[in-house]
Amino acid sequence: MRLPNGYGGVVKLSGNRRRPYAARITTGWHINDITGKRIQHYQILGYAPTRSEALQILARYNNYPIDGETLKLTFREIYLRWSEEKFPTISHSNIKGYRAAYATCENIADMPFHNLRLNDLQQVIDHCGKNYPTLKKIRVLFNQLYSYAMKHEIVSKDYSAYVNISKYKDRNPNKNIRSCFSTSEIALLWKHKNDPYCQTVLMLIYNGVRVSELLDLKKENVHLSEQYFDVIDSKTENGIRKVPIADKVLPFYQRWLHDCSDCEYLIHTLDSQHFTYYMYYHNVFQPLMFRLHIDHTPHCCRHTTISLLAEAHVDQTTIKKIVGHSGAMSLTERIYTHLDVPALVEAINQI
């Protein structure tokens, strides 16, 4: 059936995709200087597994049309707009709770809010590794953001209402996701060490940083001669630290530091752009794990580091200093422990 002029359309995208059908509208035109032909500019409204579902996305848009710029607002931008209104009206403890809940949403933070679906929200719940009370706070945050988005006619459907946390009521989802890479899985990664992005996974396993800390690491903060790098921005106070570079992965840092890219960040995309967590997880980490038949999340690299250090009989204070554990160090450890970089390098080289 032909759709009305100006209504928009549905196209099927190439490749093996979970949601191959895209609902889109025309947002403008330009003239090709070489051919003289008019070229359309499109705005994607959303993706769907079937054509009929993509048509429903298109229908919802035409019932509640919004401008193209609003469609581009990300989860992060909606959160910031909502928090500007909400935070002045609530207690400091409630603000801390919402901020902690938002911190678990890193993998969807850069997705257009309008494109989010139930599966995206449920993935946050299923893979964040938090206990049931925290999961309740995350769901409340989703409820609040969707209420804000619907009030401002950014979305027409509240997917947060269908987020399920009941299956975690009597158990901690950490048991499912906080697994470590096995010896055989690490060996498999080493077989692909010439793959630059496989190198990033090995770098995570042998440094214990949060994935966001590695993605935000700038070249200017990497010190190859002394074998460490500075984490200058972290989610916790203890996260601001010097992280040792193990001998095994030092060549990977050298490769990334001295590549031909003019990107200021050590780890970057093929076109020299800064990686967001969402880009790295969906475009690099997840496809690599699928190809190698390994079932882990990026955060499992951090747990692997801790496990390997413990198995190598590295003392707990040193482990905490390397991985930047918040709240894990005693007052005595925080005040009187001054581990220098060579000692940290020696410790990380035990794994």
pLDDT tens-digit profile of 137-154? 999 999 999 999 988 878
pLDDT tens for each residue of the chain, 351 residues long: 678 877 888 999 888 888 899 888 887 777 877 787 888 778 787 788 899 988 888 887 777 655 566 777 899 999 999 999 999 998 887 888 899 899 999 889 988 898 899 999 999 999 888 888 889 999 999 999 999 998 887 887 899 999 999 888 765 544 444 589 999 999 999 999 999 999 999 999 999 999 989 999 999 999 999 999 999 876 666 678 899 999 999 999 999 999 878 899 999 998 899 998 888 998 999 999 999 999 898 989 999 999 999 999 999 889 988 998 755 445 444 444 456 889 999 999 999
Tell how many helices (H) and how many strands (E) occur in the chain. 17, 6
Cα gap 81→91, rounded to integer Å = 18
CATH of 75-176, one of 3.40.1010, 3.30.1370, 1.10.150, 1.10.10: 1.10.150
Cα gap 113→324, rounded to integer Å = 32
Cα gap 318→291, rounded to integer Å = 35
Domain positions in the chain are 9-65, 75-176, 178-348
Cα gap 288→115, rounded to integer Å = 25
Q: Distances in Å between the alpha carbon of 34 and those of 30, 37, 40, 111?
A: 12, 8, 15, 35
Q: Is 165 helix (H, G, I), strand (E, B) or coil?
A: coil
Widest CA span of the chain, in angstroms? Answer: 74
- Spell out the alpha helix ranges (H) of 30-131: 51-63, 68-71, 75-86, 92-103, 118-127
Cα gap 309→289, rounded to integer Å = 23
Determine how many CB atoms are found less than 10 A away from the CB of residue 37. 8
User: In CATH, which superfamily holds the domain spanning 178-348?
Assistant: Intergrase catalytic core (1.10.443.10)
Closest C-alpha to 219, from 255, 194, 193, 244: 255
The answer to whether 296 and 289 have CB atoms below 8 angstroms apart is yes
